[in-house]
Amino acid sequence: MAGRVEGKVAFITGAARGQGRSHALRLAEEGADIIGMDLLEPLPFVTYSGATQDDLDETVRLVEKTGRRMIARQGDVRDLARLKEIADEGVAEFGHLDIVCANAGIMIMHEWQDGTPEIWETSLGTNLTGVWNTVMATAQHLIDNGGGSMILTSSSAGTKAQPWLNTYVASKFGVVGVMHAFALELAEHNIRVNSLHPTGVSTEMVMHVGELMEGFISRHPQLGGTIVNLLPIMASEPIDQSNAVLWLASDESRYVTSTTLHVDAGVTQY
């Protein structure tokens, strides 16, 4: 089956690499044009490298290779005005908006006593305020289009706490509340809002944190067993999450809203 989002337009944050790039490519393969954005500059306290302009350009190249079009811009999801500007530009070019993927996120790992207000603000600003901003910048376009689908990326840590990630956990639990609230209010406009909850994904962010985690587990071995997948994998691949995004974006899930979709290999069952 092909063309599951044929003729649709998707807005994706964090599109330069990782899950965002994978979502853009998967939706493009099924017929969607893409409006993508990414920060393209470092954030304080984030210890892995950020995406670059070259990364975003590569996403554009891969999308265009499918025969679809992509507008790609630099922007910070903490900046609502910039998000609106990019969304408005994309809709002016493509004519409408159908799908929103609030995908951008960061992960800062530390033991509880090393947390600071600055780490809290950075994490919540990107992972939670950034999601709220994304919805606020795009919802009217979906209303004008007669409806659509919003997919808000949370985490397995958005329904089950994980150690050494208290600011991340707080932000991802918050995404669930944002999802339910917007699903309630936007339903009258035929807009579906759902959240995606991955286990670890083979991206630079998660692989870097996985290396750090070995040291934390050695100091706190009793917590290591709380973050084990039921299925025999260390991490999922971006495409595993993108297939779920495609389903939520397509008419196959036309009556699915206010749902937490777990593609988490069973990690939340422990």
Q: Which two tokens stand for residue 10?
A: 């998707």
CA–CA gap between residue 173 and residue 26 (Å, rounded)? 26
Map residue 4 onto helix, strand or coil.
Answer: coil
Q: Which residues contact 212 (CB under 8 A, 6 or more apart)?
A: 47, 109
The residue annotated as part of the active site, out of 48, 168, 255, 270, is: 168
User: Does residue 148 contact residue 9 with C-beta atoms inside 8 Å?
Assistant: no
Residue 48 among the catalytic residues: no
Beta-strand relationship, 33-38 and 148-153: unpaired
Residues in the chain: 270
**Phi and psi dihedrals of 198, rounded to 5?**
-80, 155
Q: In this structure, are residues 106 and 159 in contact, taking their beta carbons and an 8 Å threshold? A: no
Partners of 227 in beta bridges: none
Under the phi-then-psi rule, with left for phi > 0, alpha for psi from -120 to 50, and beta for the rest, what region is 23? alpha
| Chain-centre distance for alpha carbon 144 | 24
Residue 201 CA to residue 20 CA, distance in Å, equals 12
Q: Which residues are catalytic?
A: 168
